[in-house]
Structure 1
Amino acid sequence: MISDGMAEVLRSLHRGEADDTAQACARALGAEGVALSALVGAKRSAELLWCHPELSARFEELQFTLGEGPGPDAARVGSPVVEPDLERVRPERWPALLPAARELGVHGVCCFPLGIGVIRIGVLTVLCDGNRRMSEQEYTDATALTAALTGALLNGDRRDGDGGVPGLGVALEPPSVLRRAVVHQATGMISVQLDVSMEEALLRLRAHAYGSERPLGDIAADVVARRLRFSHEFDGDGSGPYAPDGGKG
């Protein structure tokens, strides 16, 4: 049975009355933070819809940049990935994410996929404080919240007058205009520049973002704007980006 606090959150979501959905969910779950991402496009990339606090957004960006972590795993396997203490996770499981998460100050993460059957449409990420595991009650509440958010997203075609999804307090735009679109465009450009597959191009893009300690979206925007170009001749390993003179490629 869900807690009284989560029951109130779900009633507010149903009525569309939640002023700050993310903060209300975090409070009900006793979490350090929460984030809701929708899976969009052919590659099912995670598009952040809302979060609380800013740390949650930074962790979601980190997972997207690296392409690894509990969120991508939950989306892929379709079942919750519960790791309330990242210090206990084998280093080889998420080799790039674990040290970066530690540096961010993220101690534990539990991710719940949104969907029905094989259809997966999003991920709810819950940040833990690292000093305790998610209780059975909190797990039950998170599962109930995931089901409610799944219903809200699947019924997103019944939008209110402001174009938002009822109860979520967010506006869902077509995938073609979402922020992640620039990453897909940049990936295509790098694929052509290096004559490699799209998968290899995305790996090169992510590697450069991680190495330069910049968000993946910022690096992608530079590629699309032709401020950054990947070329074999400028790096011995064949992944070398460089800035063309005058910012023109």
Structure 2
Amino acid sequence: MISDGMADVLRSLRLGGAGDPAQACARALRAEGVSLSLLVGADRTAEPLWWHPELSARFEELQFTLGEGPGPDAVRTGSPVVEPDLDRVRPERWPALLPAAREMGVHGVCCFPLGIGAIRVGVLTVLCNGDRRMSEQQYADTTALAAVLTGAFLNGDRRGSRRGEGNVSGLGVYLERPSGLHRAVVHQATGMISVQLGVAMEEALLRLRAYAYGSERPLGEVAADVVARRLRFDDDVSGPYSPDSGKG
């Protein structure tokens, strides 16, 4: 059974009156942070919709930059990945993410995929607090929240007024597909690197991620440099470099 706090949040979400939904969810779950991402594009990239606090956004960017972590695993398997204490996770499971997450101040992470069967539409990420555990009540509340969000996505819940509910926007107001995707620049940069190196898109993305990780920069920031022709990936000998001119 869900808690009274989560029941209030779900009721408020349906009525479109939760204010900041991520903050409301984090408070109800007594979590360090909460984020919701929608899977978009042919490669099902996780595009953040809302988060609280900024630490949640930074952790989502870290997972995206490295291409590993509980979020990608949850999307791949279709099952929750519950790791409330990252110190207990085997180092070889997420070799790049674990030390970076600890340095960031993330103690534990629990990710719940949104979807039914083989269908995946998003992922809900909960950052655990310093207790480094997830209680049965927190698990039940998070599962209920994930189920409601999944239903809203799959049912195309975008605007409550379309169903004759007047000015009440409903849950769909919080699930609008973003008009300007944050990850679009990464896809564009990947295509450019694919052409520059003559490799498949998958390998081009790996090269981009490797460079971002090695230079300790966000993937989106490096991708923006590629798109702006401030950075090129021309060969395997000299590696990526900044051209003197703006020509591609």
**Shorter-chain TM-score tier:** over 0.9
Identity %: 78
- Residue 188 of structure 2 corresponds to 185
Is the 2:107–2:132 Cα contact (8 Å) retained in structure 1? no
Distance in 1 between residues matched to 2:140 and 2:175, nearest whole Å = 25
Distance in 2 between residues matched to 1:16 and 1:48, nearest whole Å = 19
Structure 2 gap ranges (5+): 162-166
- Quote the offset at 1:159 in angstroms: 2.5
- Residue 144 of structure 2 corresponds to 144
Amino acid at match of 1:211: G
Amino acid at match of 1:180: R
Deviates more, 1:214-223 or 1:54-63: 214-223
* SS of 2:245 mapped into structure 1: helix
- Residue 166 of structure 1 corresponds to 171
Distance in 2 between residues matched to 1:91 and 1:168, nearest whole Å = 40
- Residue 201 of structure 1 corresponds to 204
1:79-94 aligned within 5 A:
79-94=79-94
Is the 1:156–1:166 Cα contact (8 Å) retained in structure 2? no
Task: Please tell me the root mean square deviation across aligned C-alpha atoms, in Å.
Answer: 1.8
- Residue 125 of structure 1 corresponds to 125
CA deviation vs aligned residue, 1:110-155 (integer Å, no higher than 9, x gap)? 0000011110000000001242410001100000000111122223
- Residue 61 of structure 1 corresponds to 61
- Residue 108 of structure 1 corresponds to 108
Distance in 2 between residues matched to 1:179 and 1:73, nearest whole Å = 21
Cα 1:138–1:37 shift into 2, 3 Å? same
- Residue 10 of structure 1 corresponds to 10
CA deviation vs aligned residue, 1:38-94 (integer Å, no higher than 9, x gap)? 011111100000000000000000000000000000000000000000011001000
- Residue 232 of structure 2 corresponds to 229
1:32-47 aligned within 5 A:
32-47=32-47
Distance in 1 between residues matched to 2:84 and 2:96, nearest whole Å = 18
Match of 1:213 among 216, 225, 231: 216
Equivalent pairs, count: 242
Distance in 2 between residues matched to 1:157 and 1:146, nearest whole Å = 15
* SS of 2:38 mapped into structure 1: strand
Distance in 2 between residues matched to 1:71 and 1:124, nearest whole Å = 8
TM-score by length of 2: 0.92
Deviates more, 1:79-88 or 1:195-204: 195-204
